[in-house]
Chains A and B, each alone.
Chain A
């Protein structure tokens, strides 16, 4: 798993590249745990190169969502592959998290 960061104004974009499992999700958790991330208005997760997610990866997002919401930080997913989106759907997370098709739509939120 590689995480490519891109900060512009009040938005942080994290591009996820690889597979998010019980081994690699620690890296993402470390990034999202950093206190300074709450200074952004929006955190966009680019999922184009995210080829796999397990419950450990989902758990990272589940565990930070409320903290982000409380701090007024929007968490937006975009470019998600169908098979990865399906994993969010199985648990009903697609209706609890903001997932949009394109970067354009994520930017507009």
Chain B
């Protein structure tokens, strides 16, 4: 079954998305840790899309779709903001971040470590981010 939600690009909607994913996952009786990890990965992607791709422009929207099929969680976000270039992404050196007092830049590292598959694609002016995670 496909679950979908559309949100405007405001940080305030992060909680709405987390609650939406928690609602979808509720039926699957996952461990606290696994459920939290999946919600976290989605939150990180959505926060990046809201803040970096769409510059918190509340007139813009994200379309979010979640399915669970054959014990696999699948997430897709679609927007028309600035596309993310995974090729330019470097895994952060956390000790260096501490030395420099850096505030950001560890979200995608969390997503990469949690999810089995992380994919960014751009088709025309639409960007898609897709995540996959085995649940069992």
Q: Annotate A68-109 by CB proximity to B: 1 below 8 A, 0 otherwise.
A: 000000000000001110110011110010000000000000
B99, CB-defined interface residue at 8 Å: yes
B window 70-109: CB within 8 A of A: 94-95, 97-107, 109
Main secondary structure of the interface of B (DSSP, over half): helix
Min distance, Cβ A58 to any Cβ of chain B, angstroms: 6
Segment among B36-44, B60-68, B118-126, B127-135 that sits at the interface with chain A: B36-44
Q: Tell me whether A86 and B36 are in contact (CB under 8 A).
A: yes
Query: Which residues of chain B come closer than 8 Å to A23, judged between CB atoms?
Result: 11-12, 14-15
Which has the most chain B C-beta neighbours within 10 Å: A82, A86, A96? Answer: A86
Q: Tell me whether B36 and A91 are in contact (CB under 8 A).
A: no
Which residues of A are in contact with B by a Cβ distance under 8 Å? 19, 21-23, 29, 52, 54-56, 58-60, 62-67, 82-84, 86-87, 90-93, 96
Which residues of B are in contact with A by a Cβ distance under 8 Å? 11-12, 14-15, 18, 32-33, 35-37, 39-40, 43-44, 47, 50-51, 94-95, 97-107, 109-110, 113-114
Main secondary structure of the interface of A (DSSP, over half): helix
Min distance, Cβ A9 to any Cβ of chain B, angstroms: 27
Q: Tell me whether A62 and B94 are in contact (CB under 8 A).
A: yes
